[in-house]
Amino acid sequence: MRQQWLSLGGLVATAFILSGCAGFGVDDAYRQPSFDHQSTRLTGITWTGVNGSSQVKLTNPNAYRLPITEFAAQLWLDGEPWIDLGTPTLNGLAARSSTTLEFDWTVTAAGLLQRARDAYAAGEANLELKLQPTLSVPVLGARQLDWSHDFTVPVPKSPQVSLADWRVEDIGFTSLTLALDLVVTNPNRFGLATGPFDVGIEADGRSLSRMSLSEMDIGAGVTQRQTTEVSLGFGGLGVSLLEALRSGEWPSNLGMNWSGTMRSPDLGLDLPSLTGSISQ
């Protein structure tokens, strides 16, 4: 019986504190916790998407602890929920204290193609980090907070390499030297710094020759042109090379490929090595 009276007394005391004197309601004794966006940054990037992290500080200004019964954390796209970030391991807010929460997220190009083709085409997506914790406030009951923060992430796309022009620089009895004008286009909304590009020419699955392009700094949406030379032996390619010289068209049986390493100075991140075909 004594324990029941103590429990009842504690409830009455809490209600009294929250109620206060006449004209001072229980709502006046509760101050809503506040959110403070600390940072949002990219932690990694591939050719298929980006990884990132957002930090948010949640402050309880009240003189009592606020238990958390639910916590919805999501990334929204175009005004609708898109990616569920899971529930933070936080069961309450201590009195008059702040807690920093960290949310890791991943945005994939494939996901954007399914949900927002315009964002993929634009090369960036406007996202909204939305947090909705539900608090258990003494006497008042459940109170849901609703906070959001907007930010933009890039959508990575592979550089494009194409053969703009070619010409004969020298011709001998067994081989000829070609000058190749190659164009490298950066379709991204961020700049790229490349290492030397390795360029190869092949026919029927066998390598005929390899060359390289110098390092490049290519701004967002910028195209750069480089000229390199390659020597090709006539061998079994004699007929196709002669036809190419007559028509001015690159031989259809000669394929070209490229590979290289890249990083983004704008984002401060390295990108994975990449291999691709050269369009003609």
Q: What pLDDT, in 10s, does the model give residues 167-207?
A: 888 888 888 888 999 999 999 999 999 998 999 998 888 88
End-to-end CA distance of the chain: 91
- Its pTM stands at 0.80
- Rounded to whole angstroms, the Cα distance separating 271 from 4 reads 65
Closest CA to 182 of 220, 211, 217, 208: 211
Q: What is the mean pLDDT of residues 151-165?
A: 95
**Residues 88/101, Cβ–Cβ less than 8 Å:** yes
Can you give the length of the chain in residues?
280
pLDDT band of 220, cuts 50, 70, 90: very high
* DSSP string computed for 123-165: TEEEEEEEEEEEEEETTTEEEE--EEEEEEEE-----EEEEEE
pLDDT tens-digit readout, 99-140:
999 999 999 989 888 888 888 899 999 999 999 999 999 999
Query: Is the pLDDT assigned to residue 92 strictly greater than 60?
Result: yes
Long-range pairs for 21-29: beta carbons < 8 A, 24 or more residues apart: 26/139, 26/140, 27/140
Mean confidence (pLDDT) of the chain: 87
Query: Considering the chain, what percentage of its residues have pLDDT values greater than 70?
Result: 89
Q: What is the mean pLDDT of residues 153-161?
A: 95
Three-class DSSP category at 90: coil
Q: Which two tokens stand for residue 73?
A: 């954390």
Nearest to 250 by CA among 151, 182, 172: 182
**d(Cα 101, Cα 40) in Å, to the nearest integer?**
12
Residues β-bridged to residue 45: 50
Number of H helices, E strands in the chain: 4, 18
Reduced to 3 DSSP states, what percent helix, strand and coil does the chain have, rounded to the nearest 5?
15, 55, 25
Q: What is the mean pLDDT of residues 219-237?
A: 87
Instruction: Name the one residue in this structure whose structure tokens are 């000229």.
Output: 227
| Interval 22-75: pLDDT, tens | 444 555 689 999 999 999 999 999 999 999 999 999 999 999 999 999 999 999
**pLDDT at residue 250, as a whole number:** 86
pLDDT at 20 over 90: no
Handedness of CA 32, 33, 38, 39 (dihedral sign): negative
